[in-house]
């Protein structure tokens, strides 16, 4: 049985690693790793392969950056001949990035079966490019692997038959659990005892100059009470420079490798973010998370975990931060099946 895995952007790497590892033990499964090249900087891609022990890609489509239409189309055009030549039995796609929907669409048109890892998540906000990617990919997939019950409910509401849905748990947490000991051992020279760890890269937060300016202003206010450590996505860095904004009081860093970031996250006083994966990781770690978004496709991190949606309201951020600093942060628990074995459960379904 020939199984393809598609990765392209940073959050995919943490998701593919445990599934590939689990499938390695199945003798009859031959795995092929395809990297679309959506992310290409060493610190957005290569370093994750090393730390997560992912084999080098068998195929690299090297698409690079562009508009949504251009990038999606380019991935499709470059992926189609690979699929026609190698004829896999199943293609596993991960998460909600452009690489995910582009390759799922090519497979569906050529009659190749698709499995979607991290299916069923919905923010119900179609201004988010990822929401479009999630909706489309789930309609095209033959096997839908969900991380939590809300995923199953969303899929069934959209008419996906129950027999296609497999609640397997959260693959990101598989990677987290594997590397947490190394992350905790990692020496964090020069970091203060208490700090807010910030990440920011959603187009809705960083692509508009007045919105980004307001968020940076709120973070500067935070930094009066608590050091702010801010590993910045290349997109965000570029916008700060393009808009001529200032963020000198924030400790702006380059994007960090997985182990270093996880270590920093596990010791943070609070995490302030607009990332999806970080909402989940902080819930697992029990670290308070203030999310700079009006909605989340991961509602379980709010209902069960440590996540609070503060939107773009500086007052709400201030209020929630003061709760954290007063030792009154929300306490959470770890959702079911976020146990480090999601990859094995996916492998069991795939191998059948």
Q: What are the residue numbers of the active site?
A: 201
Q: Which is nearer to ligand UD1, 157 or 238 (CB)?
A: 238
Choice from 177, 235, 312, 318 touching ligand UD1 (CB under 6 A): 235
244, burial (CB in 10 Å: exposed 0-12, middle 13-18, buried 19+): exposed
Q: Which is nearer to ligand UD1, 65 or 77 (CB)?
A: 65
Binding segment (CB under 6 A) for ligand UD1, from list 96-104, 208-216, 244-252, 260-268: 96-104
Six token digits for residue 95: 């998460």
Give, as ranges, the residues between 238 and 297 that touch ligand UD1 (CB under 6 A).
238
Binding segment (CB under 6 A) for ligand UD1, from list 48-56, 140-148, 229-237, 246-254: 229-237
> What is the residue-wise DSSP string for 197-256?
EE----HHHHSSHHHHHHHHHHHHHHTTTSEEEEEPPHHHHHHHHHTT---TTSEEEPPP
Six token digits for residue 82: 């690979």
256/275 Cα distance (integer angstroms): 14
Q: Which is nearer to ligand UD1, 113 or 237 (CB)?
A: 237
Q: Name the pairing type of β-strands 90-94 and 251-253.
A: unpaired
- Could you give the C-alpha distances from 202 to 22, 117, 124, 205, 324, in angstroms and in order? 32, 22, 16, 5, 24
Choice from 47, 75, 97, 287 touching ligand UD1 (CB under 6 A): 97
Choice from 5, 39, 178, 186 touching ligand UD1 (CB under 6 A): 39
Per-residue contact track with ligand UD1, 58 to 77, x per CB under 6 A? Answer: -------x------------
Choice from 10, 116, 178, 186 touching ligand UD1 (CB under 6 A): 10
Least separation in angstroms between CB 277 and ligand UD1: 8
Binding segment (CB under 6 A) for ligand UD1, from list 148-156, 233-241, 257-265, 327-335: 233-241
229/251 Cα distance (integer angstroms): 5
Q: Which is nearer to ligand UD1, 95 or 335 (CB)?
A: 95
The residues that bridge with 309 in the sheet, in sequence order, are: 291
| Count, residues near ligand UD1 per rule CB under 6 A | 19
Choice from 31, 36, 98, 205 touching ligand UD1 (CB under 6 A): 98
Helix (H), strand (E) at residue 121? none
Give, as ranges, the residues between 167 and 206 that touch ligand UD1 (CB under 6 A).
201
Provide Rg for the chain, Cα atoms: 20
Does 129 participate in binding ligand UD1 (rule CB under 6 A)?
yes
Q: Which is nearer to ligand UD1, 178 or 202 (CB)?
A: 202
Six token digits for residue 277: 């994966």
48/289 Cα distance (integer angstroms): 23
164/154 Cα distance (integer angstroms): 13
310/272 Cα distance (integer angstroms): 10
Please say whether the beta carbons of 226 and 269 come within 8 A: yes
Does 104 participate in binding ligand UD1 (rule CB under 6 A)?
no
Q: Which is nearer to ligand UD1, 1 or 62 (CB)?
A: 62
Under the rule (CB under 6 A), what is the footprint of ligand UD1? 9-11, 38-41, 44, 65, 96-98, 129-130, 201, 233-235, 238
């Amino acid at each position: 049985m020939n199984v393809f895995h598609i990765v392209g952007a940073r959050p995919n790497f943490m998701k593919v690693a445990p599934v590939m590892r689990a499938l390695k033990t199945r003798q009859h499964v031959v795995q092929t790793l395809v990297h679309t090249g959506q992310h290409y900087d060493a610190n957005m891609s290569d370093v994750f392969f090393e730390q997560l022990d992912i084999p080098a890609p068998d195929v690299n489509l090297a698409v690079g950056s562009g508009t949504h239409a251009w990038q999606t189309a380019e991935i499709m055009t470059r992926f189609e001949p690979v699929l026609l030549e190698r004829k896999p039995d199943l293609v596993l796609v991960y998460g909600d990035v452009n690489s995910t929907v582009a390759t799922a669409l090519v497979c569906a048109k050529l009659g190749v079966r698709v499995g979607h890892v991290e299916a069923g998540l919905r923010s119900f906000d179609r201004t988010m490019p990822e929401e479009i990617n999630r909706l489309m990919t789930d309609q095209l997939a033959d096997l839908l692997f969900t991380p939590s019950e809300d995923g199953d409910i969303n899929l069934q509401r959209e008419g996906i038959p129950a027999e296609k849905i497999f609640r397997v748990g959260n693959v990101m947490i598989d990677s987290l659990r594997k590397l947490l000991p190394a992350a905790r051992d990692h020496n964090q020279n020069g970091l203060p005892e208490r700090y807010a760890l910030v990440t920011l890269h959603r187009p809705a937060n960083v692509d508009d100059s007045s919105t980004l300016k307001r968020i940076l202003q709120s973070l500067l206010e935070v930094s009066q009470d608590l050091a702010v450590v801010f590993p910045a996505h290349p997109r965000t860095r570029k916008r700060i420079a393009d808009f001529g904004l200032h963020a000198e009081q924030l400790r702006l860093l380059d994007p960090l490798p997985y182990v270093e970031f996880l270590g920093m996250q596990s010791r943070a006083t609070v995490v302030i973010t607009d990332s999806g994966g970080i909402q989940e990781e902080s819930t697992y770690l029990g670290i308070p998370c203030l999310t700079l978004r009006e909605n989340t496709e991961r509602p379980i991190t709010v209902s069960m975990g440590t996540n609070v949606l503060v939107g773009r309201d500086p007052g709400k951020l201030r209020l929630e931060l003061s709760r954290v600093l007063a030792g009154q942060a929300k306490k959470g628990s770890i959702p079911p099946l976020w146990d480090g074995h999601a990859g094995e459960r996916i492998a069991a379904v795939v191998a059948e």
